[in-house]
A and B are shown apart, each in its own frame.
Chain A
Amino acid sequence: DVKVTQSSRYLVKRTGEKVFLECVQDMDHENMFWYRQDPGLGLRLIYFSYDVKMKEKGDIPEGYSVSREKKERFSLILESASTNQTSMYLCASIQTGDSYEQYFGPGTRLTVT
């Protein structure tokens, strides 16, 4: 059974803290994504990676960075957390080819106080 896991389901951090969100997939997928989900806005792409050490900005990269040192792991970093980064963060990886199915992690609900 395919699986995408995220390091935390719930996280509370203080303004200014550095925050690491980790995502691991066991499907040998090359493409991985970080989204944030806010009410009424849907999922918005923060960053994606199409290979180890490769990354591209999505639609809302400001205030975030990413790291992909190994194929199975894609990390999202909030360099200095702010209250407007309070959100649900979802990681996904994609099966390319005929299906192009995205597999999502369970999400991390981050609250920045």
Chain B
Amino acid sequence: KNEVEQSPQNLTAQEGEFITINCSYSVGISALHWLQQHPGGGIVSLFMLSSGKKKHGRLIATINIQEKHSSLHITASHPRDSAVYICAVREGGNKLVFGAGTILRVKS
């Protein structure tokens, strides 16, 4: 079974800072997902990656398949980015294995 490790567990940043959240996994995968969870519970999908890099607004996700590592970057961070960011990997089929999440707080 895949082990998914995220770092850091907690992150506090000042508004405007560049933020990086890391995810590593132990076994080959077919895809990696980044998810966002706001206080109150709702989870939304940000990205699905199988190679390279994707960008959506101020969010950038990269993956290095050889190194079994992915990063989520937030440029020009804002207090509304405060949330839990979750990395999840899909080995095959429809099941995901989740990391424990990174709690991000952006202060104004």
- Chain A residues in the interface with B (C-beta under 8 A): 9, 31, 33, 40-45, 48, 50, 58-59, 88, 90, 92, 94, 96, 99-104, 106-107, 109
Contacts and interface: CB of A to CB of B under 8 A. Distances in A.
B104 to A, nearest CB: 15
B36 to A, nearest CB: 11
Interface of B: 1, 4, 31, 33, 35, 40-45, 48, 86, 88, 90, 94-96, 98-101
Chain A interface, DSSP helix/strand/loop, else mixed: strand
A42 B98 contact: yes
A45 B33 CA distance: 16
Nearest to A50: B94
A42 B90 contact: no
Contacts of A100: 31, 33, 48, 90, 94
A48 B94 contact: yes
